Amino acid sequence: MTAEQPHHSTDDAPVVLVLHGASGDLCRRLVLPALFELARRELLPADWRVVGAGRGEWSREDFVRHVREALEEFGPRPSEGPWDEVEQRLMAAGGGFAVEDAGELPGVLERAQEELGGSARVVHYLAVPPSAFLPMTRAFEAHGLVEGATVVYEKPYGTSLDSFEELDAEVQRVWDEEQVFRIDHFLAFEAMQDVIHARFANPWLAAIWNREHVAQVQVDVAETLDVAQRASFYDATGAFLDMIVTHLFQMAATVAMEPPADLGPGALQEARDAALERFRPLQPEDVVLGRFDGYLDIDGVPEDSTTDTLAAARVWIDTDRWRDVPFLLRSGKKMAADEQRVTLMLKPATEGPYAGTELGEPAAVSFSLLEGGALDVRLTVRTPGVEGGLSQGTATLPLDGLDGQREAPPYTHLVRHLLDGDRSLFTGVPGLRAAWRAIEPFAADRPAVQPYAPGTWGPAEVDRLAEPGRWFLR
């Protein structure tokens, strides 16, 4: 049976979505396919336009060709959806968008408004390099495009407390907070949303979601890939800044949040932010940084690099629910497997006939984010046969395909929420600020990187962080 999913649409007013950086990798691989998927599922507003914006010469024909090619390559293919209808709604604005020169955008927006009856909401999606966020923010103000519009900033929204504050001060000066959305696409994975919905929809799960029953929370985002062609970008960032303080902190806060009053458009964001504000400052002894053997030989990596290709952190959250429960976060390259998991490692029995019994592995509730997602529940049961004893087994519930419904990739959720004005899957300023603040002691006293062999779960010290427990993935 399908229950009504809580979803909140502002209204069915026409929308103009402006894709700044439409020619880039993100739009090609993720945003344009997401839009076409929504068109295919008839989940776009009744009337809409998409403006592909960029610098230099960039005609409507260029944009249409670009969209078609993106869909051919990344799907759904044009033939699998309402391509003719979508094509008619595509517009292009070249000439860039800067304080000195707004290019073609204001004229194209006027034309889109005329075509849509004059009352369309305008959503500006900044799918441009982060260095363009500040200048473009100023350009919206300079060209009078702020009123009645919404803006979405891609990640990273700042790369340190200082750069976050600098960007956010300008964003808050130019926009009202209700107009601003900030992306962390990990919040939009199907299984990540189930960390919230499965928890609150199942009282037994909600009942164990606390320090009485949970020994550790683990968030793992592991890749077998190396840094590929992105070596110089990666070397300037590293695993800790690229993943831990951003995505994994937000995922940990999603686990840690107190029950929101409702599932309305702002309540989940507020609950997540409140959890992030309770993260204890991260001490250097709670962090392990690793570098896979061979990293320094990669073209584009400086020979004196100290960049971490793997980072693990033990975070403490000062709430009554989670006091003394470590949140173990780990992410890296060239690891043993491609895995994305959020796991609650459960405590053994403390009363009853099995109190104090040593078991092989702790019982666990684990959400896998890969593809359509899955929920694994590891339980202790009686060993079959006459010898007796206890064994452990895992029940796996694939989250994809339930009720005949297929998964949607994160960007499809994000674009839909954005067009609906629903903030649930977006990050909030108090949480982002709290995350940067929480890493200050670590950032001031960064531990040295330790070597690890490719194809492993990281340096031995990573296991130490989990003691007296163990990693679910090992």
Ligand X SMILES: NC(=O)c1ccc[n+]([C@@H]2O[C@H](COP(=O)([O-])OP(=O)(O)OC[C@H]3O[C@@H](n4cnc5c(N)ncnc54)[C@H](OP(=O)(O)O)[C@@H]3O)[C@@H](O)[C@H]2O)c1
Contact footprint for ligand X (CB under 6 A): 21, 23-26, 54-55, 127-132, 154-155
**What is the smallest separation between the CB atom of 460 and ligand X, expressed in angstroms?**
32
Based on the number of CB atoms within 10 Å of its own CB, is 422 exposed (0-12), middle (13-18) or buried (19 or more)? buried
**What is the smallest separation between the CB atom of 234 and ligand X, expressed in angstroms?**
12
**What is the smallest separation between the CB atom of 397 and ligand X, expressed in angstroms?**
29
Q: Burial letters for 93-104: b for 16+ Cβ neighbours within 10 Å, e otherwise?
A: bbbbbbeeebbb
Based on its alpha-carbon atoms, the radius of gyration of the chain, rounded to whole angstroms, reads: 24
Report the run of H or E that residue 92 belongs to, with start and end: strand 90-93
Nearer to ligand X, 55 or 60 (CB): 55
DSSP secondary structure code for residue 426 in this structure? B
Nearer to ligand X, 156 or 362 (CB): 156
Token couple for 283 = 């001490």
**What is the smallest separation between the CB atom of 130 and ligand X, expressed in angstroms?**
5
**What is the smallest separation between the CB atom of 129 and ligand X, expressed in angstroms?**
5
Q: From CA 310, how far away is CA 304, in angstroms rounded?
A: 17
Nearer to ligand X, 186 or 322 (CB): 186
**What is the smallest separation between the CB atom of 132 and ligand X, expressed in angstroms?**
3
Nearer to ligand X, 5 or 131 (CB): 131
Nearer to ligand X, 31 or 363 (CB): 31
Nearer to ligand X, 154 or 407 (CB): 154
Nearer to ligand X, 155 or 197 (CB): 155
Q: From CA 349, how far away is CA 357, in angstroms rounded?
A: 8
C-alpha distances in angstroms, 57 versus 65, 315, 378, 381, 439? 14, 49, 57, 66, 43
From the list 23, 4, 41, the residue with the least C-alpha distance to 415 is: 41
**What is the smallest separation between the CB atom of 54 and ligand X, expressed in angstroms?**
3
**What is the smallest separation between the CB atom of 75 and ligand X, expressed in angstroms?**
16
Q: Provide the CA 320 distance to its chain's centre, in angstroms.
A: 26
Q: From CA 76, how far away is CA 63, in angstroms rounded?
A: 17
Report the run of H or E that residue 380 belongs to, with start and end: strand 374-382
Q: From CA 73, how far away is CA 76, in angstroms rounded?
A: 9
Nearer to ligand X, 13 or 134 (CB): 134
Nearer to ligand X, 185 or 416 (CB): 185
Token couple for 341 = 């998991």
Report the run of H or E that residue 33 belongs to, with start and end: helix 32-40
Q: Which residues contact 133 (CB under 8 A, 6 or more apart)?
A: 126, 153, 157, 167, 171
Nearer to ligand X, 30 or 39 (CB): 30
The DSSP string of 231-280 is HHHHHHHHHIIIIIIIIIHHHHHHHHPPPPS---TTHHHHHHHHHHTTBP
HSE of 283, CA atoms in CB hemisphere, 13 A: 6
**What is the smallest separation between the CB atom of 401 and ligand X, expressed in angstroms?**
26
Nearer to ligand X, 340 or 343 (CB): 340
Report the run of H or E that residue 167 belongs to, with start and end: helix 161-174
The torsion angles phi and psi of 35, rounded to 5 degrees, stand at: -65, -40
**What is the smallest separation between the CB atom of 221 and ligand X, expressed in angstroms?**
13
Report the run of H or E that residue 180 belongs to, with start and end: strand 180-182
Nearer to ligand X, 120 or 167 (CB): 167
**What is the smallest separation between the CB atom of 126 and ligand X, expressed in angstroms?**
7
Amino acid at 244: I
**What is the smallest separation between the CB atom of 55 and ligand X, expressed in angstroms?**
3
What 3-state DSSP class applies to 320? coil
Question: Which residue is nearest to ligand X, using beta carbons?
Answer: 24
